[in-house]
Structure 1
Amino acid sequence: MEINMHYDLSRVERQHLAISRETNSSALVVTRCACRKSTTSKQLVQHGKCVACQLADRVATLQPEDLEILRHMLGATDHHPRARWGFRNEYLCNRRDMPSMARLMAAGFVRSGRPLLFMWYFHATDAGGRLAGLSAKRAAVALGARP
């Protein structure tokens, strides 16, 4: 008994052929930002800058006292050991500090929490923790992970 076998591309073989024939997406082509760092062309088209330049722009909007408040919020001050930084992530803000909190919120380094009488709690975001000098582990602890 002879079996007629016709050569037929199975679905998997067709997929492999299609993948081998396609070209690289222009969005994933590595290009250089104005700061000479490499990034994808998709990033440059969407935002006009690399991630590092975007972060630098956000930091440039802050004033020195804003960074001091952010570090205090996270317990990242000189009188605490660096290994314990990030043990807290809250700051009860009064009226005097509201302009600083507004700048930090606009830059994406803090988020608003719950009110307490005429004051508000604020909490740092992951980007705020990194800006304050926390390591990845201590930033995770500050955001709610167990130590």
Structure 2
Amino acid sequence: MNSTYFQPLQIKTVVVKEGLKGIIYIEALKQSHVANAIQGISALNNYTITMVPIKEMCDTLRVVKDIPTLKSGMYVRMKRTMYKDDLAQIDWVDIAHNKVYLKLVPRIDYTRMRGALRAPDEPRFVKMKRRPQARLFDVERIKYVC
């Protein structure tokens, strides 16, 4: 028996990318370590060992984040605006315009007057001091503020 079979390989990792046919990436400190690792594997050629340039190393192992597909009827959680941390139901997805239309429980401030009932010196847009409670739309209460 040959003593080289019992020595550990001096390589760090081996990576095969799905899109690149016939190319494998072997990470090692020296090119000779790679040559020793692939010695005896008939599918790999010893004469085509090349070092990956440093500029291309980061692109070689970039992980692509999996984006979930959104479908009508699914539930999502809002991350921004007044509706932060609220659940919303997807009404429909417009793929052409990259938009999603949602159904939300409204947060209407019934204490702030709007339209003609608003005081003339009151500013039109007021920054929210507190977030209104999530309630279903009430026709009777909205008549008093609009």
User: TM (normalized to structure 2)?
Assistant: 0.27
Of Structure 1 and Structure 2, the greater helix share is in 1
Q: Which has the higher contact order (CA 8 A, sep 6+)?
A: 1
Greater Rg over alpha carbons, structure = 2
User: TM (normalized to structure 1)?
Assistant: 0.27
